[in-house]
Structure 1
Amino acid sequence: MPITPLQQQLCDKYGLPAQAPEPMIALATGTLAQEPIYGTRITLPENGTISWFIHCGEHSDASGFYQPLHASHLQELLPQAINYLALPSGAKFIIDRAGYEDVWVE
């Protein structure tokens, strides 16, 4: 997926290199009504297709917590997360619908 201008601006704001997102993400669809919104980008595993894991509210280790989805579905399901998808591997973010934002790399 190409990096959008807003995604590049967000990376520039935090002094991080932009990294094009994969077409697929892992989204905890059962948590979408909760806050805050958490995103973690791992290093893409060998032969892997997903580096972004996004959930809202409390995290769970339960099997099936995340569902693989095409990133384009974020536009309808969780548009607040779209601008963060070009953050590099190792990046994490926490945002809420009132404007709070924190981005860091572990």
Structure 2
Amino acid sequence: MQNDSSEICRRFGTDYMPPDLGEKVGIALGTLGNVPLHAVRLRPENGTCGWYIYCGEYSTDDDFYQPLHVEHLAERCPEIVPYLALPPGWRVLLAPNYEDVWFDGDISTASDHTEPS
């Protein structure tokens, strides 16, 4: 993960802040395989690294996201792994032959897992 993640951070001119493998992400496991992949990093807290990931359509259901340790992302959602060192406030949108990565200042200090507007 080190080389790909550090290159992504260099490419976007931001700090390198990789999560610990034992930290958790919020991931909508039931959406994996849908397109596009959406990911946002909020402020880490309470054992989470701040990443929330889903594919396809967002849902406001209370059980939309499930916790998953970072170390399991390589097998469950490998396409997001190179982006995990982006700091809080960054968003990623991936689809076949498409990548959009940007800093969203409105969410850089947010701490809940709702989809910011």
Q: Check whether TM > 0.5.
A: yes
Q: What is the Cα deviation at residue 69 of structure 1?
A: 0.6
Q: Unaligned regions of 5+ residues in structure 2, if any?
A: 105-117
Query: Alignment RMSD, CA only?
Result: 1.2
- What stretches of structure 1 move > 6 A for 4+ residues in a row? none
The match for 1:100 is: 98
The match for 1:76 is: 75
Equivalent position SS for 1:101: strand
The match for 2:8 is: 10
Q: What is the Cα deviation at residue 82 of structure 1?
A: 0.4
Supply the distance in 2 between the matched residues of 1:56 and 1:105 (Cα, whole angstroms): 19
Q: Unaligned regions of 5+ residues in structure 1, if any?
A: none
The match for 1:53 is: 52
Aligned residues: 101
TM-score (norm 1): 0.89
Deviations 1:50-76 (A, max 9, x none): 200000001111011000011121111
Aligned-residue sequence identity (percent) comes to 36
Equivalent position SS for 2:35: coil
